[in-house]
C-alpha cells in the first residue's frame, strides 16, 4: 500500500482534482456534503453515485477511491469519456502524481515495463518468473502442484511448490505460491464456448511439469480439464 497516497486521501484536501485518478475536474468533486454529481472523464467515477459514502464515512470513501483507482490501473488507465477525447498529450501516469501515485516517468514507459500477457507465446517469461520464485524459497520442493481458484474476476490457476515443512494447512507440508495464471478474456469465455480447453490450465501444466522435472519431483494437477476449487490436493493422495 502506498502510504503517501492514502495520507493524501485522508487529508481530504483534493482541490479540484479527482481523488481517484488525479484529473483536474475544474470543480471540487464534493462541496462539503454535496456531491458535484459529475463523472470524471478520465477514470469514469461519478461523484455522489459511485462513492456512495461520500464524505460521511471517511474510511469507506477512501477505500472506494483506492479500489476504483486499482481497477482503472488494472485496465491500463483508459480515457473514460467517449464523447470528449482526452486532451492533447494526456498522460495518465503523470496525472496520477496529483494523487501521490508514482508509476514512473510516463505512460509509455509504464506500459513498456508491464509483464507480457499470460498467453502461450509468453510462456518462457512466465516459466522463468515461477522458477525464480521457486529458487527464492531456498528449499527444495517435494512436489509442484497446480490448483484452480477463483475470485470476483473469475477463475485462475495457481502454481505451488510444496515444501516439507508444517503449516496451518497440513501437519507436514507447506504450499508456497509461485505464480497465478489467468487466461485473457475472463469467465465470459465459458458462455462464448471459448473454453474448454483452458489455456491457463495448459500453461500451468507445461510450466509445472517442467519445474517438477528439473527438481525430479512429481507434478500434480487434479482437474486440468475444468475449473474445480474443491479438487483433492497432492498431499491428500500421498497419505
Ligand atoms: Zn478520475
Round to whole Å and give the CA distance between 232 and 148.
Answer: 11
Ligand 1 midpoint to CA 201 (Å)? 36
Query: In the predicted model, what is the mean pLDDT of the chain?
Result: 92
pLDDT confidence of residue 58: 60
pLDDT confidence of residue 34: 87
The residue assigned the cell 481458484 is 149
Ligand 1 midpoint to CA 185 (Å)? 25
**This prediction's pTM:** 0.64
Ligand 1 midpoint to CA 111 (Å)? 19
pLDDT confidence of residue 53: 62
Spatial contact of 86 and 95, defined as CB atoms under 8 Å apart:
no
pLDDT confidence of residue 54: 46
Ligand 1 midpoint to CA 69 (Å)? 8
Ligand 1 midpoint to CA 77 (Å)? 10
Round to whole Å and give the CA distance between 210 and 232.
Answer: 22
Ligand 1 midpoint to CA 29 (Å)? 10
The residue count of the chain comes to: 239
Ligand 1 midpoint to CA 22 (Å)? 6
Predicted confidence (pLDDT) per residue in 135-178, tens digit: 999 999 999 999 999 988 789 999 999 999 999 999 999 999 99
160: phi then psi, degrees, rounded to nearest 5:
-120, 150
Q: pLDDT below 50 — which residues of the chain?
A: 54
Ligand 1 midpoint to CA 96 (Å)? 9
pLDDT confidence of residue 57: 57
Sheet containing 143-151: order of strands: 174-181, 154-163, 143-151, 219-220
Amino acid at each position: 500500500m502506498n502510504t503517501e497516497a492514502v495520507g493524501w486521501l485522508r487529508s481530504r484536501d483534493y482541490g479540484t482534482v479527482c481523488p481517484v485518478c488525479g484529473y483536474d475536474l475544474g470543480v471540487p468533486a464534493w462541496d462539503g456534503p454535496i456531491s458535484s454529481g459529475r463523472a470524471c472523464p478520465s477514470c469514469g467515477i461519478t461523484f455522489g453515485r459511485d462513492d456512495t459514502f461520500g464524505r460521511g464515512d471517511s474510511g469507506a470513501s477512501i477505500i472506494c477511491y483506492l479500489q476504483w483507482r486499482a481497477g482503472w490501473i488494472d485496465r491500463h488507465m483508459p480515457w473514460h469519456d467517449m464523447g470528449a477525447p482526452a486532451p492533447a498529450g494526456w498522460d495518465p501516469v503523470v496525472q496520477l502524481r496529483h494523487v501521490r501515485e508514482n508509476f514512473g516517468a510516463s505512460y509509455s514507459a509504464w506500459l513498456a515495463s508491464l509483464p507480457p500477457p499470460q498467453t502461450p507465446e509468453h510462456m518462457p517469461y512466465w516459466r522463468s518468473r515461477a522458477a525464480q520464485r521457486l529458487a527464492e524459497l531456498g528449499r527444495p520442493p517435494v512436489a509442484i502442484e497446480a490448483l484452480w481458484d477463483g475470485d470476483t474476476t473469475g477463475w485462475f490457476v495457481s502454481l505451488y511448490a510444496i515444501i516439507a515443512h508444517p503449516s496451518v494447512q497440513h501437519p507436514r507440508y507447506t504450499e508456497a505460491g509461485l505464480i497465478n495464471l489467468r487466461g485473457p478474456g475472463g469467465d465470459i469465455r465459458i458462455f462464448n464456448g471459448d473454453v474448454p480447453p483452458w489455456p491457463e490450465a495448459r500453461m500451468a501444466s507445461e510450466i509445472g511439469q517442467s519445474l517438477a522435472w528439473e527438481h525430479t519431483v512429481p507434478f500434480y494437477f487434479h482437474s486440468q480439464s475444468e475449473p474445480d476449487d474443491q479438487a483433492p490436493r497432492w498431499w491428500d493422495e500421498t497419505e
